[in-house]
Amino acid sequence: MAASVARSQLTPLSRQITAKPSQSDQTPKCIVRFRPLNIPRRFNVTVKASINRNDEKIGGNNNKTAPALHPQSILDDDDDEEDAASKDSLNSLPRPLSSAQFSNFVSDGSRLRVAYQGVRGAYSESAAEKAYPNCEAVPCEQFDTAFEAVERWLVDRAVLPIENSLGGSIHRNYDLLLRHRLHIVGEVKFAVRHCLLANPGVKVEDLKRVLSHPQALAQCENTLTKLGLVREAVDDTAGAAKYVSFEQLKDTGAVASSSAAAIYGLNILAEDIQDDCDNVTRFLMLAREPIIPGTDRPFKTSIVFSLEEGPGVLFKALAVFALRQINLTKIESRPLRNQPLRSSDDNSGFGKYFDYLFYVDFEASMADQKAQNALRHLKEFATFLRVLGSYPIDTTIVP
C-alpha cells in the first residue's frame, strides 16, 4: 500500500485469522475475477535500473535486505538459461535509496527525478508516474528518505501518500510535512486495485497463506476469508510480491498490484479482490519551491496551525473560513511533539492538557483575496500558522 515501508523482512501476524464475516459481509462489493491458469515465461519483462548504474554505489551493501531476498541464494549452479536470465533481470531492478547512500547517489539528469517510498511495483510508483509521466522514478526505503532526497537536490520531486479512502490518514507524512521545508505543488488520486498473485504453475487451491501490507490484507478480508488463506503481514505490497517470487514459494501468494506481477514474474490469479471498489489513495507532490497559485482552475490550499487552549477556540478558527464561504475538505489533528503536555492556567482541576497542531485543506487559491483575508483573520489568534502549499485540485482518478 501507499503507507508501505520498503523492507523485505517478514513480520508475520501473531495468529491465523479464523473469524468468519457476518452475513452482510459475505458478498464483496466488488466482483472478483479469477483468471485461468496461465504459465508465462518467468520475468519476461526486462526492467532497466534507473538509479543504480553500479551496485557498489547504490545499495550494494544494504544491511536491511534480508539474505533470503538475494537472488544468488535461490538459483543453483545447474539452473537452465531461462532461470539465469531471470536472475539478471531481477538484479537490474533499482534498490531503494537509503539516507546512508545519499553521498554516493548518481543520476544521469536526463529526466525529472521523482522519489517515492517502496520498491518497484509499489502503488506509489504508479502514482509518481501518473503525476509526472516519463519521469525517472527513484525508490526510497522510508518516507523520511524521500523528503531528504528532495531537500538535498538528489531528486526533483517526491510523491508520497497522505490519506486513503478506507485506511484514513498517513500520520507519518503529516508529521514530516512540518519537520521539513518542502512545498506541496500538486496532488494525485490513485485508485487501488488489489490482485492475488502467485508463482507460475500455482493455482488458487494450492495456496495456504498470503502476504501483504496490513492495510491491503484488511481491505481484502472477505475474499481472503472465503479462500481460507492465512494472512501474514509484511512491510509493503510490492515487497510481498518480491519475496514470493524470490523464494519461489508454491503455497504462498501475495496481494499486490498488476505492475508488481509483471515486474516479478508472477501470475495474476484474481483481480479486484478488494472488498470495497471505492479504494482511493491521495498522494501529495512535493518540491523545494512553491508554485505560483492561480484562479484559472480549481485550487486547494493546505495549512497547519496551532491554537491556545480554551473553549470555542477551534470553532473560532474554523469560522474564519465559513464566514467567507470557503469549503474545508480535510481537518486533521496531531499532537505537538515538542510540548505534548502543557500545564493548565486555571483551577479547573485538570493539571495538564494536550497541545495539538491542526492540518486543514480548503478549496481556494492563495491568489484569491478571500483566502488571504481568512488566513489574515486566523493569524490574529493562532499561535502558529504555516501554508504548506496552494495547488491545483486533481479531479481525475486512474483505475
- Which amino acid would we find at residue 158? A
Catalytic residues, which ones? 281, 283
Q: What is the DSSP letter of 239?
A: H
Strands (E), 221-297: 230-233, 252-256, 267-271, 280-287
Q: How far apart are CA 269 and CA 277, in angstroms?
A: 18
Q: Nearest-5° angle of CA 156, CA 171, CA 160?
A: 25
Dihedral-angle region of residue 339 (phi above 0 means left; psi in -120 to 50 means alpha; beta otherwise): beta
Task: List C-alpha distances in Å: 373 to 124, 213, 358, 366, 382.
Answer: 36, 43, 19, 10, 14
Nearest to 239 by CA among 219, 216, 222: 216
- DSSP string over 153-185: TSSSEEEEEEEETTTEE-HHHHHHHHHS--EEE
Per the listing, cell 459481509 goes with 25
